[in-house]
Each structure stands twice: as structure tokens, then as C-alpha cells.
Amino acid sequence: MLSAATLTFRNRTYQFNPLQPLDISLPLAPGLDNVNCFWAEPVQIETIRVGDYVGSVALGGSTNYQRVHLTPHGNGTHTECYGHISPDPAATLDKCLNRFLFVAQLVSVTPQPQDNGDLVVMAQDVLSKLSLENLPEALVLRTLPNSLEKRTAHYSGTNPTYLEPALAEFLAANGIEHLLLDLPSVDREEDGGQLLAHHAFWQYPANTRVHATITELIFVPDAVEDGWYLLNLQVTSLVLDASPSKPVLYALRPVEGTVSFVEAPH
């Protein structure tokens, strides 16, 4: 049975257990008891009926056959590319995301209240937990306090926490290509369309980071400690700027004197 694997990242060897995944996505289920933002309709699942056929075994059909109505940016965990802020029809996630395994660092941070009453994740609070000599490919942000209400929150109209644009600028300047966070957006809910953190992270349009992604509405349980992980960023092959996603972490443990057999591209 496969129980351990190794990888190298920036000349360091790490071990992880492929049989111990840590799913940090939120489920896409119908109804109101699920996370929702930006005034999206709740997820809906409809049984398909064609003539005498009914797509429900419970209702006498031979198979379950259902239609799903969802809004990637508003329902559950989702990953987006620069196409979110670009008119380019070719800027779709299926083209932008062509790797799915990344070395990630999980950081917990407490948002700071601003003079206008907003709660903002400040760049310095995050940078103080990173090493400039050893930065990850992906950054996973967990905001504190880490309430279970994040799993079912209805954020629309509540002006939820967002990021200081300087943090997005730092990530772009230092080659961190994937950002994951437990918030509805990196930007303020209503900011007049400026989307400063989105533009800073993707460096759009002057020097667009085509392969960079933002994953929003994750949930990292308290039992998952801050530290280094292998991230498996799973998405559907939607030809769209965003997709429902399933980010999965695997804890990385430094191993000294071990010859690795898998090397993480960087």
C-alpha cells in the first residue's frame, strides 16, 4: 500500500502521505444552509423528466439524472483566473491552469479594523509569517477567528473582510502564483469596480500573470496547523473564467538526507 512519497522544492526534501488528504473545499449542496455571496441564487438540483422517463431512482426511474444550477463566483469554493477581470474570451481557467500540484504555505492571520469600520487582512501581518528566502508557490490564508459559520455564511450585503492590495502586490512581485482564502473576495464587496487586489495579483493588464489563480471560499479546520503542504488544486474543465474547485492539502515534513523521486517544478 502506498503510504509515503517525497518531493524536492528549492533544494529541500519533503515527505508526505498521499493517503492523508486534507480537503479544504466547501460542498455545493442545494438549499439555504450553504455559503453564498454576491447575491447569487442558492444551488439548485432538478430532476430531469423526458416523456415517461424520470431521472430519479427514488421516484421509480432506472437512474438518477439531474440538472445543476450554480454560480461559481457565488456558490461554494471556486477558483478563478485573470479572465474574471478581462474581456478576452480566451482568458478561461481551463487554459490558464495547466498544473495542479503546488508547494503551499498555510498562514493564519487576524484581520485589522479600519477607520471606516472595514476588516482588512493587512500585508505586514501576512509578511511577518513568511520567509523571503523560502517562499511557497501557493499561499493559503485562514482568517481568525475561524468560526464554523464560514461554512454556511450568507455574505451578500455584509461588507465581508478583504485584502489590503499591497499584499496582492507583494505576492505578484515575489512569484507566488496561487492564492487561496476563506473569504468571498480579495477585494471589498462594493468598491466602485476598482478591484485593486485582483488587478495587483494578476498584474493586469500591463504584465498579466496568465497562470496565476485565486481560490475563494475555502475552509481550513482548526486541526490543520499552519505550515507547509502539497496542494492539489482540482477544478472542473469549464470553459469559463472560474470553476467550482476542490483544493486538497497534504502535510509536508522536511526529511534530511533523503533522495527524492519527485521534483516539484518551480
Residue 208 phi/psi, 5° resolution? -60, 130
What is the pTM for the complete model shown?
0.94
pLDDT (mean) for 41-60: 97
In this prediction, residue 256 has a pLDDT band, given cuts at 50, 70 and 90, of: confident
51 falls within a domain: no
139 falls within a domain: yes
User: pLDDT by residue (tens digit) across 218-231?
Assistant: 999 999 999 999 99
34 in Cβ contact with 42 (< 8 Å): yes
Site of grid cell 480537503 = 23
In this prediction, residue 259 has a pLDDT band, given cuts at 50, 70 and 90, of: very low
**Can you give the CATH number for the domain in which 101 is found?**
3.50.30.50
197 falls within a domain: yes
Task: Give me the number of domains the chain comprises.
Answer: 1
64 falls within a domain: no
Q: Which residues contact 41 (CB under 8 A, 6 or more apart)?
A: 69, 71, 74
User: pLDDT by residue (tens digit) across 81-137?
Assistant: 999 999 999 999 999 999 999 999 999 999 999 999 999 999 999 999 999 999 999
45 falls within a domain: no
pLDDT score, position 260:
38
Domain that residue 226 falls in: 5-26+76-254
